[in-house]
Structure 1
């Protein structure tokens, strides 16, 4: 509230009371060494707002933070300004040069810890394993069902099965389609490799060896396998939603 851009002068006296009360409550839990000059200055903020206006219009935190950044260039304390100018100029020249280099990170810009977490990236325990053929084709079929580029081949395969087995019902045709579509698509791509889309060609072949991870980042969340989760000393595997109902004014947890 103190750092808000718009402050109602009528609430300042209440803020001062709350600040003093909060500091007194902190004295019940923290040692006297905790209450240095920084903590003490909180009691004067409300009085400064009455005299000088909102802190957002006059605080110097961002400038002091940037001055601390510039002080990092100092190597010779007898030439403070010169070292800052030299270090800052060298950084600008390097950043200008990196704009023309490929696969080079800019100086001073840290790489985001969340980079790639929206696209799905394995992060822990990479290993290659041979899958059972039944599990492999079942997983392959599940992927093919959700691909837009495979939709014409699905319709074609279903039509072929229906023409060849016209006396069978829809349930039998659906099971037969699920069992044979992956093999049929593989033979179809192999026979007409030059006339199919590149994505369809890659999806048509099944790799026996697959890559597995024990940790995986996708959609901004990190997921672990059950084996990896059992190694952890902490666990967070539940979602809690506290709902306040209007009728009986009670809270329910799900």
Structure 2
């Protein structure tokens, strides 16, 4: 480890900043030039010809309209939106690009309640009602307010919005009422999606989780085996001590 605090500092003192003497960019460029070689008998000519062709194509591609080039191609993780959608509620303004291969499914009660609570808890228009319900639970001296609110808020919010609709029906209240009713239980499951340039692949996440769980199980199995071996060794030591003590007793009695 002496290389880090001594040799690197000494090297920077003698040679200066690393960006002026780093060979990695040049090695990458040389790798690109080696890819231009078609005639191994004349590699220099092949590299020069390939370089000229690449420069000509790059220059001409700037004037190609309606043709996808590296200057106007869409990003790999583009979600298909140029901004937020014009929707009524803030939580539904985010665009998303779903993967292909949807599977029809029915949500179980646990998934349904979790999805409903997640949507309500992350909607800006519902935050005042969440605070109001939290204050009401505090007045009732509820211990675990967060857990109680997660269970009972959806039903309380639906009653509150229905009462507001009876008093005054507006477009905002209609949007809140549709939100309070909740989603459908019949859904289409996708293997992943792209949001804000971030790719979320559920299959990869499941594989990583299974690998972590398997690693923990193997580690616990190794610990159990070591405990068993240690216990067996201790039992053997105890038996050996008992045998040696019995031999000593027999020797004393014979004397």
- TM-score, normalised by the number of residues in structure 2: 0.45
Bigger CA radius of gyration: 2
- TM-score, normalised by the number of residues in structure 1: 0.45
